[in-house]
A and B are shown apart, each in its own frame.
Chain A
Amino acid sequence: QSVLTQPPSVSGAPGQRVTISCTGSSSNIGADYDVHWYQQLPGTAPKLLIYDNSNRPSGVPDRFSGSKSGTSASLAITGLQAEDEADYYCQSYDSSLSGKVFGGGTKLTVL
């Protein structure tokens, strides 16, 4: 049971928009700790996709965007492409656990 809750899977057709939610609590996202998002392609290490809730590292397409509100955060992907098929994880800090926490991950399938 992950501290941050993500849907196990989402899917969409090429060109469509999908969102992935990340729900936390008052000891993590709700305590105003930043949320980061990672993309993990099959068989590879995770890659930073969004940092500090809504910022894209250099080289990440602007099709990817992040937002945060209250005790939740979201990752949106527009103009879905086959290469976006991967696992996506959110991450934050939890003050009651005194450590970093991850969501359980969401598998994105491009139909």
Chain B
Amino acid sequence: EVQLVESGGGLVQPGGSRRLSCAASGFTFSSYWMSWVRQAPGKGLEWVANIKHDGSEQNYVDSVKGRFTISRDNAKNSLYLQMNSLRAEDTAVYYCARDSRGYLWGQGTRVTVSS
């Protein structure tokens, strides 16, 4: 069974940093593109970033470019999102998702940016 388990969410001050992790199991992690998708409170889904199966290519939505970094460790079946210079508008549930003919989703981890 495909399983994606996010962790690392919490309360962070504006301007602060946070690192999200996603542990994957039930599939060959190193064969898939992976993404982070977020959902602000009461809002819709927003794609944040994705990374190629071997880590050689990353793409970001404009609003996080230069602040967020997506990475992966295929030996550990893990996906990461390093978030720096956080803003109130980054407050959201962050989902890890396997990208293959649509997304398969984790349960999400909540990040709240507030003083």
Q: How many residues of chain B get a CB closer than 8 Å to chain A's CBs?
A: 21
Instruction: Evaluate whether A101 and B44 lie within 8 angstroms (CB atoms) in the complex, with A46-B103, A48-B102, A52-B102 already known.
Output: no
Q: Tally the A-B contacts, defined by beta carbons under 8 Å.
A: 58
Overall SS of chain A's interface = strand
Q: How many residues of chain A get a CB closer than 8 Å to chain B's CBs?
A: 24
Across-interface contacts of B29 in A (CB, < 8 A): none
The residue that B47 contacts in the complex, of A34, A38, A51, A99, with Cβ under 8 A, is A99
Instruction: Evaluate whether A99 and B61 lie within 8 angstroms (CB atoms) in the complex, with A45-B108, A104-B44 already known.
Output: yes
Residues of B within 8 A of A (CB): 35, 37, 44-47, 50, 59-62, 95, 99, 101-108
Q: List 6 A-B contacts (CB under 8 A).
A: A36-B102, A46-B95, A48-B105, A99-B47, A99-B61, A105-B45
